[in-house]
Amino acid sequence: MSIRTPSADAGQSGILYVVATPIGNLDDFSLRAVEILRSVDLILCEDTRRARILLSRHDIQSRLQSLHEHNERRQVPALLSRLAAGETIALISDAGTPTISDPGYNLITAAVDAGARVVPIPGPSAVTAILSVAGLPTDRFVFEGFLPMRSGKRQRRIAELALEPRTIVLFESPHRIVRLLAELYGAWGERRACLGRELTKRFEEIRHGTLAELSQWAESHTLRGEFVLAVAGASD
């Protein structure tokens, strides 16, 4: 197995910064992240309109360019050329840490393969936020992101995870959260769980309970916002 390191002339080449941004509260932004974004030649973001709200709050005026799942592969060659020419580029997502259920994987892989320097600027993540308050074991956990949409694949994945002993973290939209909780309770039974809605935002809500309790609560409420769910793993 070969180990890739930046090329010998990396001091003359650019840097790709992978910068975490707030998941809700715009003040959850590190000083280092702000300074990096102010200094780079280009900021890659999913949605330039959403990015400008955050960047304008912190007086960041670097050039923006959209990079999302539909155009990422097409843009990689040009972005690698810019890095090779010595430019600095920052990758951000709409919220949280880039590449965690967000675009950027292809660009980072290509940059690493080209010998470019890739630097993480860590910060907010919905995954670590929910784990920190879940009251569940966090020495080992598994992140599943969004489950498959199609019913057959979805049910197979839920069945596969039934025996997973580690704490499980899932993302879900407001349109499917009721379905998700009912499916997990039906397949996994009574397990402790923690459900987070709109984390760090004005209407943040964090609820603890069993899957049955959370499922019953969700069915009786009109739910909005993005959800992250942590569920206890299978017991011995």
Instruction: Domain ranges for the chain, please list them.
Output: 13-121, 126-231
Cα 86 to Cα 10, 12, 82, 218: the distances in Å are 9, 6, 7, 51
23: DSSP letter: S
Q: How far apart are CA 102 and CA 104, in angstroms?
A: 7
DSSP for 50-65 reads HHHHHHHHTT----EE
Region of residue 34 (left: phi > 0; alpha: psi -120 to 50; beta: else): alpha
Range list of β-strands (E), the chain: 15-19, 42-45, 64-66, 88-91, 117-121, 141-145, 167-172, 192-197, 205-210, 227-231
Phi, psi of 156 (to 5 degrees): -65, -40
Taking only the tens place, the pLDDT of each residue in 122-165 is 999 999 999 999 999 999 999 999 999 999 999 999 999 999 99
How far the first Cα of the chain sits from its last, in Å, is 36
Can you name the CATH fold of 13-121? Cobalt-precorrin-4 Transmethylase; domain 1 (3.40.1010)
Q: Architecture of 126-231 per CATH?
A: 2-Layer Sandwich (3.30)
Contact (Cβ atoms closer than 8 angstroms) between residue 230 and residue 168:
yes
Angle at Cα 5 formed by Cα 72 and Cα 20, nearest 5°?
45
Pairing state between β 117-121 and 227-231: unpaired
What mean pLDDT comes out for the span 227-231? 98
Taking only the tens place, the pLDDT of each residue in 61-119 is 999 999 998 999 999 999 999 999 999 999 999 999 999 988 899 999 999 999 999 99
Cα 217 to Cα 70, 86, 114, 158, 228: the distances in Å are 37, 54, 50, 21, 15
More confident residue, 212 or 13: 212
- CB contact set of 46 (below 8 Å; sequence gap of 6+): 66, 67, 68, 93, 94, 102, 103
- Read off the pTM: 0.88
Phi, psi of 205 (to 5 degrees): -145, 130
Taking only the tens place, the pLDDT of each residue in 186-213 is 999 999 999 999 999 999 999 999 999 9
